[in-house]
Chains A and B, each alone.
Chain A
Amino acid sequence: MHDICVIGSGAGAGPVIYELSKAGYKVVVLEKGPWIKTEDFTKDEMTATRRDAYIPRHEDEPQVIESPTSSGYKARSTDEGGSDFQNGSCVGGSSNFMSAYFHRLKPKDFRLLSEYGPINGANVVDWPISYDEMEPYYTKVESEVGVSGKVVEHKHLEPRSTPDFPYPPLNSNAVADWFVKAGSELGYNIIPAARGIISTPKKDRKACYHSNYCGSFGCASDAKGSSRAALIPQAVETGNCEILPNSKVFKLETNENGKVIKAHFYNQTGVAQEVEAKIFVVACQAIETSRLLLMSKSEQFPNGLANNSGQVGKNMIFAGGGAGSGILKYDDLSEEDAKALANKNTFVNRCLKDFYEIDDPTFEPCSTSEKGKVKGGTIDFLIEHSNPMPKAVRNKYDNGTLLYGSALKEKLITYFTDQKRVRFEIFCDWLPNDNCFVSLDKEVKDKWGDPVAKVRTGFHNRDIEIGNYLADKAMNVLKQMGAYEIGKSVTGNPPGNLIAGGCRFGNDPKTSVLNKDCRAHEVENLYVTDGSFMPTGGSAPHTFTIYANSFRVAEKIKEHISKI
């Protein structure tokens, strides 16, 4: 029997695998996808994005998405096309393909209800832990996974136990300074943004070589801090860690005492197998984690494992906000500046956090808030990604008319060679609400015949208000820079790659699935360590916090197993 069975191998799983293996415990990892080696990660758009080879085929593993429409929620299977919530099915999970913008949450993110008061229609709660309890683990991620950047003073800088990041900032395009200058002219403090990408070598990992094909692509130098590159190799080196790729867990079996005793999984050829362990850790990315628990029914748990409270799958959250862009034309610039902008380095690594909290009396949510202030968010500034297909495809249409022939060619040559599109991304809270949850679909099955996850993606209108407020600030910056065609897109459509919640942690077993240690209230040897635990998501991509929390929970598991 193994000591620990970990289901999944991404950011939520990696720290547990790493810490427990190094502590001498026998760890087995069941990963649904293959174990892709670094040398097989290329910058080939065909593999990475046109054929989406890093995720399951939709016909094999569909999900059902219920989206809000003017006439109620409409369900569709991802097998029928459209967006999905698959983000990297392989060892290391979606951490292989992240852009790795690593922002810590702020102390106020841990007590959203206390700081800002209730919001009608939103299930806002305080976290059962404080920022201070998480801080050492953010620091640990910065050194163990590797975070590069530069700490500067700003009004929402969170407390830190170290003065700066362990890795110096990555190189950035000259446009980064133009963002800062434009912000300064507007009274905005645009600051360096940290990345989960190392700028100097670390053990077997090479420094970032600025391929400029980062988000959506696997890293060919292992500079990006994926769980696969940063943590799992060292776990395997201990001799205590066994990775079983192509192993799809479909049920956690419990005994008469309500303890998990086995994980049942299909191997690559579809044969059902099982492993036993003392402690089970689920981290398959939030939607699939809730799905697995809901599928694991038993006499003790007729509604799914750890779900006698009915809370599993509830209060899913995504990243609220949106994005926008503008065009900088080379003709408007000096020859020197045009050359600098045209440089192929697409890293900007600048962000604006002045509006992480909004106390603007002219902003209606503030004026109606009992505290006179509301939670805002983060604005990241960037340049359009290098890979050319998305750029080309966005030029297929002109005011809704499909282009072809010379008109298409002219639009392409102008877009690619006369200008550069600068962008911003907005991150604000996706408020948890009763219409954002995961259940099991009653009809659609995966290739193994198991029910797939049905995801309802209801959103709170406050998210749109905050997103627009922040986007307007970002657009001010682009305007100040002299950009053309400035626009924004802030909608209630969830981003497919930033998923959390569904097994929120809390002190009350009636309203939460996990306790503050991310152990199931109802199952003494079951932990959940992906983003599922988050009752609110903060105003930043979740990955840094998922990593930090997994390191934190690894300590709790070590304490637990030492007593078994």
Chain B
Amino acid sequence: MNKLKYIRKEVSIPDTFQNIDNWEVDRRKFLRATLLAGAATQISWFTSCSRQLEQANDYLTAEQSTILKDILMIIFPEDGNGPSANDINSFGYILWVLSDNYRKPEDNEYIMEGINWANETSIEIYDQPFIELSKEEQEKMVELFTEMEWGKNWMSVMVTLVLESLLLDPIYGGNTDEKGWQWLDHVAGVPRPTEETRFESFIHKYKPGQI
């Protein structure tokens, strides 16, 4: 069955997504279910995936990393108009965010919940993990996210993170070679942060124990 028909805008949300909307009532419950589902399919992903997976890191598995990078490139694509998410290292910036324990733990869990949710939704619709979808299919999935309450909120968070990776100081991993600032003709304020004054150093110095 061609499940693409289910994600056309004019078609009402199929039962799968109605269920997902219900799950939003209890995000934690949904997360647990999604994680279990992810664990069950993990081995087959590694063996069947034709694309090269990102390296795992301290915060994301290889497949989570690949999903995230794919979504970031949809949010900020290579389209000839300024830098792409890859050009400004949005992925690396988000890894820094995930390492930042000044944030509430649930804020970072939320990023990962969304990645898992994207994958689970892909499997529900296409019987394939997100990274196995064609670019067009991935774009349709992301469009679908923005039409769903929980997905829209998660996407909004991700867009903000991409904007941070575009415009915050390169010291935090994004805005590679100040490409974001150059593209938007932005002149940074001085003094800029140094290793001694960057956020983590500031917190260590003035709010010890909070990071």
Contact = CB atoms under 8 A, between A and B. Distances in A.
Secondary structure type dominating chain B contacts: loop
A228 B23 CA distance: 51
A389 B168 contact: yes
A40 B168 contact: no
Contacts of A50: 164, 168
A386 B168 contact: no
B81 interface: yes
Nearest to A220: B191
Interface string A465-506: 000000000000000000000000000000000000000000
B197 interface: yes
A46 B202 CA distance: 11
Interface in A272-309: none
A43 B155 contact: no
A406 interface: yes
A90 B205 CA distance: 13
Interface stretch (B3-11, B43-51, B70-78, B118-126): B70-78
Scoring A42, A53, A344 by chain B CB atoms within 10 A of each residue's CB, the highest score goes to: A42
A393 B157 CA distance: 11
A34 B77 contact: no
B207 A53 contact: yes
A408 interface: yes
Given A42-B191, A42-B193, A402 B184 contact: no
A416 interface: yes
Interface string B13-40: 0000000000000000000000000000
Interface string A31-74: 00010100110111111001101000101000000000000000
Interface string B126-166: 00000000000001001000100000100110011001101
A412 interface: yes
Contact of B184 (A47, A57, A408, A413): A413
A396 interface: yes
Interface in B78-117: 79, 81-82, 100, 102-104
B166 A392 contact: yes
Contact of B189 (A57, A213, A408, A410): A213
Interface of A: 34, 36, 39-40, 42-47, 50-51, 53, 57, 59, 90, 211-213, 217, 220, 268, 344, 386-389, 392-393, 396, 401-406, 408-410, 412-413, 416-417
Given A50-B164, A392-B163, 11 more contacts: A40-B206, A44-B192, A47-B197, A47-B199, A344-B187, A405-B77, A406-B79, A409-B77, A409-B82, A412-B82, A416-B185
Interface of B: 74-77, 79, 81-82, 100, 102-104, 139, 142, 146, 152, 155-156, 159-160, 163-164, 166-169, 172, 181, 183-194, 197-199, 202-203, 205-208, 210
Which 5 pairs between the two chains have the least Cβ-Cβ distance? A43-B189, A213-B189, A416-B184, A34-B206, A44-B193
